Structure 1
Amino acid sequence: MKNQLTKSIAVGLVALSVWNCKTSDPTPTPYESGVFILNAGNFSSNNGTVSFLSRNSNVVATNIFQTANPSLALSGGVQGYAEVNGKGLILVDNSTAGQDKVEIVEAGTFVSRATLKTPDIENPRQVISAGPNKAYISCWDVSGDYSAGTFYKDPGYIAVVDLNTSKVTKKIPAVKGVEKMVISGTEAFVGSNTYSGDQTLLIIDLNTDTEKQRIAFGSTPEPIALDATGKLWIQAGKDLVQLDPTSRAVAKRLTFSAAPGSVTISGDKRNFYYTLGGKTYSISIDANTASGSVVVNRSFSALGIDPQTGRIYGTVIPSYAQAGYVIRYESSGTLVDSVKAEIAPSGLYFR
C-alpha cells in the first residue's frame, strides 16, 4: 500500500510538471508593443530600413529586417507597411526599374516568409488588410517619363495578395497614380496621388475584387480614415471632406487656407491631427469650420497617434544623408522625448 501511494504521488507530480510546461506563458516576441518606424532612406542609395520603438523605451532597434534575416536586404526605399493575420507586408521601392518588391514577414519577429517581385509588384504605394488572409497593395505600375508628363501609367492597379499562398492572385485596374485606400464594410475606397491629376474616387467590391463604382470628385481624392460615426474622410487639396460611404453623399466640407499635411486620425476616431503653416493642429470630426487648435508649435514630415496611449509621434528628416528623429508628445502637446531613428523616417505603424 505504501509503495502504491508513493507511486501515485510520483505520477501526480510528473503530471503536474507536464501540465505546468504545457501551460507556461508563450515566449514574447521582440516587437510586441510599440511602433514600427518606416525609414525611406535615400532613394538613389536604396538604403531604406524599418526600425522599432517600444512604448516603454527611448532606444530604437534599428534595421530589424536585416537583424532577423542576416542574409537578406530590403534594397530599396521603404514605402509602406501593414499587418494581416500575423503577417507583415513591407513595401520596397527600388530606384532601378524591375527591382521593386514586397517582403512578407512574421509580424512579431520580422523573419522573412516570402517575397513578391516584379512584374506582380511595380511601384508599390500602400498596403491594407482586405480580409482575413487578403491584402490590397496599390501600385503605380511601371514609371514613365516625368518631364513628358507620362510618369504615372494610366491606370495603375491594386495587387490582390493571398496570404495563404503568398502570391498575387489578381491585378485590379485602378486610377492613375493610385495610392491611398480605406475600407468601409465590404468596399474599398481608393484615391490617387495629388501630383497625378486624377480626380476619380474608385470603389472596389471586396467580395469579388472588382470595380463597383467611380465617382468624379472634382479634385484629387486621398482617402484618410473612417471616423467614430462610420463616415469616410477624404482630403481633396485644401479640403477635408466627410462622405457617407453608404449613400456616397458629402456630409460636410472643411476648407483650409492651404492643403493640410500629414493628416491622421486619433485612436478614438474623434479628432484629426495635421500640419499647416509650420504648426501641428487638432480638429474635431464635429467641427463645421476649418479652425483647428494648435497642439505643437512645429510641423513634421509624418504624424502618428498611438491608439493605446494617445501620444503624438512626429518624424523629423534633417536630410536624406543622416539619421532622422521621432519626437513624442502627450496628447496635450507636452514634450515626452526625442528619439534617434534612421535615414528619412517617413511613416509609422503602431502595434
Structure 2
Amino acid sequence: MLKKTFLSRTFILSGVIAFAIINSSCEKTETISTQPYDDGVFVINAGNFFDNNGSLSMIARNSQTVSFDIFLKENNRSLSGGITDYSEVDQKGIILVDNSTDGKDAIEIVDAHTFKSIASIKGEVDNPRKIIKAAANKAYITCWDTFNADYSYKMGFVAVLDLTTNKIIKKIPVDKGAESIIVIGSNAFVGNVGSQKNIKVIDTQKDEVVSSIEVGENPSDFVLDASNKIWMIAANEIVLFNPLTKTIDTKFKAGMNEKKSPSNLCISKDKKALFFNYNFYDATDGYKLKGEINTIDISTGASKVFINRTFTSVAFDSESNQIYTSLIPSYKQAGYIFRFQNSGVLIDSVKTEIAPSGFYFK
C-alpha cells in the first residue's frame, strides 16, 4: 500500500519527471584518522520515491572521482527508501530514510569514518526531514509525521535521538510540516513547510518547546551569518531573524517574478552573500522546472541573477569556496552535479546517482 504523495515544494512528482529540493548541511566534523570517508562531499541522492532506491555517494573535492552507494558498498545491503538527509554528530553518521510504505521509515546510524552500520531504528519516525546536533551525543530530527487522508499535514514533531543508546527517547510536538532546524546555544529553532507562519523554539536542555514566534509563512532553509543571526525563506522573502531578541531585523525580496519561489538558501564563505534557487514549475510546458540561481548582497539587499541555468539544488562549500548544484533529468536515471567557482564560472560536472538533491560537506 502506498504511503503518501509529496505535495510540498520539497518534492513534486509529475509523471516520470520530478524534482527534489533539500537543504544542505555544512557542519564539519573532526578527522581522527585517514579513512575512506573522512574528506569529500557527500551527495544525498533521494532516489525515486516509489522505487525506494535512494543512496549516498561521495565526490572528491580535487577530482571527478565518485564513490557510488557507499552504504551498500560497506554493509552489503541497501537503504531501502528515499534519502532525505545525512549529517554527522559525534563521529556518527545519521541517514534519514523515507520509505513509500507506512511504518518502514528508518534512521540508519553508521561510523562516520568507515560507514559501517552501527544501528538501525525502524518504526519510530514518519517522514523524517532534517538532522542537527542538539547537544553532546544527542541529535534532533524534524519529522512531518504521516499525512491525513486528503494528504494534508498532521502536526509535526522533533524526534530526540540519544546517540549513547542509539534510540529515540522523546518526540517534541511542533508545527505542521516540520522541516528546517538550527541550534544556537541551548535553543533549537524549528521551521516548517506546512503553511504555518511561526517558528518554534526548543530548549535543548529540557527538550521542550518554550516559545512560538511569527516570522512569515513556511519559514525554512535556515543559515547562520557571521553574527549568529538566522537567514531564512518565509513567504517568498529572505528574512533575517535575530535569535537573541526573537525579532525580525530585516526582509529582502527574493525577486520580482511572482511565479518563482526561492529555495535552497545558502551563504558564502565570507558570509557577505546569500545564494538560492529561484525556480517555478511551468504549467504551460509540462510542469518543467525553470529558473536560475540568484544572489543577494547582504550589506545592500540587492538581488541579481548569478547563474542563469535551472538547477534542483544549490549549496556552498566553504572548504573549497565553490558552489555545488544538482540537476535531476528524471527519477529514472542518474543525475548530475555541477561545480562552480564563487564567481559563477563553471568548473566541471560529475555524474552521480538517481535524484541528487542535497549535500553534506565534510
Q: CA deviation at 1:301?
A: 0.6
CA-to-partner distance for each residue in 1:319-338, whole Å, 9 max, x for gaps? 00000000001111111110
- Unaligned 5+ segments in structure 1 are 1-25
CA distance, structure 1, for counterparts of residue 165 and residue 300 of structure 2: 45
Matched, 1:112 2:112: no
Shift in Å, 1:223: 4.6
Matched, 1:307 2:313: no
Q: Which residue number in structure 2 is paired with residue 31 of structure 1?
A: 37
Q: Of residues 213, 217, 220 in structure 2, which corresponds to 1:219?
A: 217
The 1-side partners of 2:161 and 2:277 are apart by 33
Residue 153 (structure 2) aligns with: 152
8 Å contact kept, 1:46–1:94: yes
Give the percent of matched residue pairs that are identical in Structure 1 and Structure 2.
Answer: 43
Give the equivalent residue in structure 2 for 1:326: 337
The equivalent of 2:61 in structure 1 is: 55
CA drift of 1:217 comes to: 3.1
Tell me how far 1:27 sits from its aligned partner.
5.6
* Cα shift at 1:234: 1.9
**Which deviates more from structure 2 when the two are superposed, residues 268-277 or residues 124-133?**
268-277
Alignment of 1:73-88 (within 5 A): 73-88=78-93
Q: Which stretch shifts more, 176-185 or 320-329?
A: 176-185
TM superposition outliers: structure 1 runs of 4+ over 4 Å: none
Q: Which residue of 2 aligns with 1:267?
A: 269
What CA RMSD, in Å, does the superposition of the two structures yield over aligned residues?
Answer: 1.6
**Residues paired across the two proteins, number:** 317
Q: Distance in 1 between matches of 2:131 and 2:152?
A: 21
Contact 1:40 1:346 in 2 (8 A): yes
Q: TM-score, normalised by structure 1?
A: 0.87
- TM-score norm. by structure 2 comes to 0.84
Equivalent position to 2:108, from 103, 112, 120? 103
Cα deviations by residue, 1:107-162 (Å, 9 ceiling, x for unpaired): 122111001111x21110111111121100011112222xx3x5311x21100011
Higher strand share: 2
Pick the structure with more helix per residue. Answer: 1
1:140 is aligned, of 144, 157, 170, to 144
**Partner of residue 175, structure 1:** 175
Q: Which residue of 2 aligns with 1:205?
A: 203
Deviation at 1:245, TM superposition (A): 0.6
Q: Give the aligned residue type for 1:89.
A: I
Using the alignment, how far apart are the partners of 1:301 and 1:110 within structure 2?
27
Note the residue ranges of structure 2 that are not aligned, 5 or more in a row: 1-31, 280-290
Contact 1:189 1:223 survives alignment (8 Å):
no
Per-residue deviation at 1:182?
A: 1.2
The letter for the 2-side match of 1:127 is: I
1:296 corresponds in structure 2 to 307
On the 8 A contact 1:42/1:344 being kept in 2, the answer is: yes
